Structure 1
Amino acid sequence: MKKANKVLFVLIFLLFQSGFAQDSLKISANEFISVVKSYHPLALKYRLQNKMAEAEITRARGNFDPVLAGKLGEKNIGGTRYYEQRNAALEIPTWYGVEVTGSYNYLDGEKLDPSDTRGGLYQFGVTVPLAKNLLYDKRRALLDQAKFAQKMTEAEQAVLTNDLLLEAENTYWEWVQNYEVYKLKSEIVNINRERLKLTKKTFEYGEKPAIDTVEALSQLQSFELQQQDAFLNFVKSTRQLQLFLWKENRQFYELSQMIYPADGLSRHPAYSDFEFLIDDVESRQINTHFSVLYYRQKQNILESERRLKWQSFLPKIDFTYNFFNKENYRADYLPLFDNNFQYGLKLEIPVFQREARANYQMAKIKLMQNELDTDVKRRELNVKIETYKSEILNYHTQISLSENNLQNYRRLLYAEETRYSNGESSLFLINSRENKVIEAQEKFISIRTKFLKSFNKLKWMRENFLYNTANPE
């Protein structure tokens, strides 16, 4: 098994090496983010969550749908027709708790109840809550809460989507970093191979001692090991990048060949745009951040629940009035309480109100808890913004210092090579200087990557702010 893995690694390495000389598949950061946004399963899941919230609103509106009912029946025992009935009814609930009904009822038979009306009867009625459920009821609460929940979902899914894109973009730039480190190690290996050849020739000509060939070979072997390690890191980061690559129909993108970044660490607009980004984020109001809007919409839901619980303190007084008219009779609508009517008044008053008091108290506590969560989230966002700003500014300064440091090490290496050509130095000192240059170059690449990752954190945080701040609710 170890031998097979070693052979596979060598084959991959050879394929990768040959890729430099051939046309290879390249992907830019913008192309990569576009693919993630369009095809990643989590991005699709978040969009489906928004559709589910829209369906919740439709379901809540269903509580206001008119209800059409019908009934047909007959009872006959031993030749005696007890009754025959045909009923059709329409019930229309309205926004303010008032229910309007209309029906046609036909009843006939030999065993009817004395209170039943024989023949066809038209009925129009209305039920009005006079206290509880007049200003607010469960149907209105469910619809309001569904609307607030939709805004909550939109805010939450926007944050989750941008977090996904941030992770994806930072993975891309880590991939670029590993690629540039591998290219650096490959260049150094090539340089040291040429140096070894030159050292061997100078030894053959008797100009340099044999120990210099050993020194050059040891340096080459050290860099070859580093090159192998850098290549492995690049392959591993390519696999991490592949986790974000999906195709249509939720198919995972299988790599048939090595891919390479089309963008480099040195060619990024962040180096010139970071100050504008900082000013832009500082100008945003923290209350327009989607995470805060999420809690504010949750506050609206809890407030709706509080209003609904408060209705439980009110007595339930429902007034019902029905107007009747027999089939084929001329209707006399007025006066309402003179003929052909029915009315009722229903009263319910809980004596101790224990359940109402407990429910209302819990609703108020939930409101206070959510306010505390909102304050914590505001503080957390402010700290993140300040942290990202400090990182950007600090890494930008480090880039300048690291670049100057790298240039100085290069000058020292060049000077050492000049002294060596004049016979005043040794290959050991050149290798030592060269190691410092490589170390400084790797540090320079690392700091650039950290700067871009911090820039991305602030950039995607900006995307979490509501652009239209006229009505953040």
Structure 2
Amino acid sequence: MKKVNKLFSIFLIFFSVQFSFAQDSLKLSHQEFLNVVKNYHPLAFKYQLQNRIANAEITKARGNFDPVLAGKLGEKNIDGTHYYKQKNLELGIPTWYGIDIHGGYNYIEGDKLSNTETLGGLYQFGITIPLAKNLLYDKRRAMLDQSKFGLKMTEAEQIVLTNELLLDAENTFWEWVKNYEIYKLQKSAVEINRKRLELTIKTFEYGERPAIDTVEASSQLQSFELQERDAYLNFVKSTQDLQMFLWKDNQELFEISQLIFPSSNLDEHSGYSDYEFLVQDVQSKQLENHASLEYYLQKQNILESERRLKWQSFLPKIDFTYNFFNKENYKADNLPFFENNFQYGLKLEIPIFLRQARADYEIAKLKISQNQQDSQLKFREINTKIETYKNEVSNYFTQIDISTKNLNNYQRLLNAEEMRFSNGESSLFLINTRENKLLEAQEKNLELKTKFLKSYNKLKWFNENFIR
């Protein structure tokens, strides 16, 4: 930033002597500027990365349902005693409904085996079924659901944040254009008054004007020169603000090394003609489809998923496991599940006081209630903003119409005063007064157009937040 400030200091000093429109100056249009912000601004790039992170979270959650293949190879031998030699291969397959399927092959031999071990090769196929807790909903399903809701939540947030960035950038652009046009007005006024001073000096030398008129003309010129310098400083400052949105494709700040001017002007904007269509379009949208509310809706889904998961803690944990065995090189005539070559188990866990379960469930419900209140507040905020922006746009458009008529009247008064002055019926003082009023009206007109465009942009980018 020191380098940028130094660059602008040099920029300001160089043009404090004389401002010229060099042929190698850069022209930046409104659309070109927005394209740069959309494609290269670090925040826009960051918001895109958030979506990729959310997609990765879904992949991560799906990993909880991936089959797991495990193998084990071991042997124990002490002082010539062959305790055991073992080979084991297992495959576990988790399913969506909390049921785990597993199968495997185990081979073991040795002199010091446990009585529960089976010599030789043994095939195993089994299943574990939760009979209460985790049967209807469990952590694996909750994580996947929440990651899917999280992606939609991130996408909605990304829409809002990106549009806020573009709104800020676009309003900065039109503020820059306004300051440039004000500078051109002041520069034009300086040129006119410089010529007027030269003409007044000549008429004084010919004896047609009193000496005091040269003082009047000189004073007016100096006043406009001061205003020109101030307008130029504002233009340079707004150029520096604009530069904060100009980035290159390698995420490096674009440094201005030559003149840069807007190729767009305030009068070219399409908002003056289509703002009523924009208002109608916004009015036709359902507020529930706004991305800000979509964010809270998906957050509600995540919290509801968490509540369902916490409710499972009230249920007793009853897991039934069954394994069917078959020895290697042995063919069974039938599958007597509970007569031979089987193993089953039933595990029961019941928390006595359920204090943790009750507390977790209560917290989950409170978070849902809190999010519902936040959603209602956001709904009212969105509705209020829409009405505010609609009123601003309509009001500023009316003011522009009045200001333009007023501006035309000041121009006619100045023209008439100059005609009277040429006929010897007026004074330089009255011309300067009319000219000052005209310049004030011109600047006021530009200010109103800028305010209109800023309000129009607020409504436009707010409208872009509706996702369906």
TM range (shorter): over 0.9
Note the residue ranges of structure 2 that are not aligned, 5 or more in a row: 1-7
Superposed, which structure 2 residues align to 1:114-263 within 5 Å?
114-263=115-264
Separation in structure 1 between the aligned mates of residue 20 and residue 181 of structure 2, nearest angstrom: 17
Q: CA deviation at 1:271?
A: 0.5
Match of 2:41 in 1: 40
Q: Which moved more, 1:404-413 or 1:133-142?
A: 404-413
Q: Please tell me whether residue 12 in structure 1 is matched to residue 15 in structure 2.
A: yes
Q: What is the letter of the counterpart of residue 416 of structure 1?
A: E
**Cα-to-partner distance string for 1:36-56 (whole Å, 9 max, x where unaligned):** 000000000000010000000
Separation in structure 1 between the aligned mates of residue 139 and residue 16 of structure 2, nearest angstrom: 67
**Cα-to-partner distance string for 1:217-245 (whole Å, 9 max, x where unaligned):** 00001001111111111111111111101
Q: CA deviation at 1:27?
A: 1.1
Q: CA deviation at 1:332?
A: 4.5
Q: Secondary structure at the match of 1:331?
A: coil
TM score, norm. by length of structure 1: 0.96
Size of the aligned set, in residue pairs, is 462
Q: Please tell me whether residue 105 in structure 1 is matched to residue 106 in structure 2.
A: yes
Indicate the percent of aligned positions where both proteins have the same amino acid.
68
Q: CA deviation at 1:12?
A: 3.0
Match of 2:341 in 1: 340
Separation in structure 1 between the aligned mates of residue 124 and residue 24 of structure 2, nearest angstrom: 83
Q: Secondary structure at the match of 1:157?
A: helix
Match of 1:268 in 2: 269
Separation in structure 2 between the aligned mates of residue 395 and residue 7 of structure 1, nearest angstrom: 38
Q: CA deviation at 1:330?
A: 0.3
Superposed, which structure 2 residues align to 1:236-385 within 5 Å?
236-385=237-386
Q: What is the letter of the counterpart of residue 12 of structure 1?
A: F
Q: Report runs of 4+ in structure 1 exceeding 4 Å deviation.
A: 5-8
Q: Which moved more, 1:221-230 or 1:325-334?
A: 325-334
Q: Please tell me whether residue 437 in structure 1 is matched to residue 438 in structure 2.
A: yes
CA RMSD of aligned residues (A): 1.4
Match of 1:470 in 2: none
Q: What is the letter of the counterpart of residue 154 of structure 2?
A: T
Q: CA deviation at 1:14?
A: 5.1
Q: CA deviation at 1:9?
A: 3.6
Match of 2:459 in 1: 458
Quickly say closer, same or farther: Cα 1:101–1:8, change in 2 above 3 A: closer
Q: Secondary structure at the match of 2:276?
A: helix
Contact 2:12-2:236 at 8 Å conserved across structures: no
Separation in structure 2 between the aligned mates of residue 150 and residue 8 of structure 1, nearest angstrom: 46
Match of 2:4 in 1: none
Quickly say closer, same or farther: Cα 1:9–1:28, change in 2 above 3 A: closer
Separation in structure 2 between the aligned mates of residue 381 and residue 396 of structure 1, nearest angstrom: 23
Q: CA deviation at 1:409?
A: 1.1
Contact 2:12-2:233 at 8 Å conserved across structures: no
Separation in structure 1 between the aligned mates of residue 150 and residue 136 of structure 2, nearest angstrom: 22
Note the residue ranges of structure 1 that are not aligned, 5 or more in a row: 468-473
Q: Secondary structure at the match of 1:74?
A: strand
Q: Secondary structure at the match of 1:246?
A: coil
Quickly say closer, same or farther: Cα 1:332–1:132, change in 2 above 3 A: farther
**Cα-to-partner distance string for 1:157-191 (whole Å, 9 max, x where unaligned):** 11000000000000000000000000000110010
Q: CA deviation at 1:424?
A: 1.9
Q: CA deviation at 1:418?
A: 1.8
Q: Secondary structure at the match of 1:249?
A: coil
Quickly say closer, same or farther: Cα 1:14–1:195, change in 2 above 3 A: same
**Cα-to-partner distance string for 1:64-119 (whole Å, 9 max, x where unaligned):** 11111111111111111011101010011000000001011111111111111111
**Cα-to-partner distance string for 1:377-415 (whole Å, 9 max, x where unaligned):** 000000100000010000000001101111111111122
Q: What is the letter of the counterpart of residue 332 of structure 2?
A: A
Contact 2:24-2:258 at 8 Å conserved across structures: no
**Cα-to-partner distance string for 1:302-348 (whole Å, 9 max, x where unaligned):** 00000001111111111000000011000345221011000011111
Contact 2:167-2:457 at 8 Å conserved across structures: yes
Contact 2:266-2:450 at 8 Å conserved across structures: yes
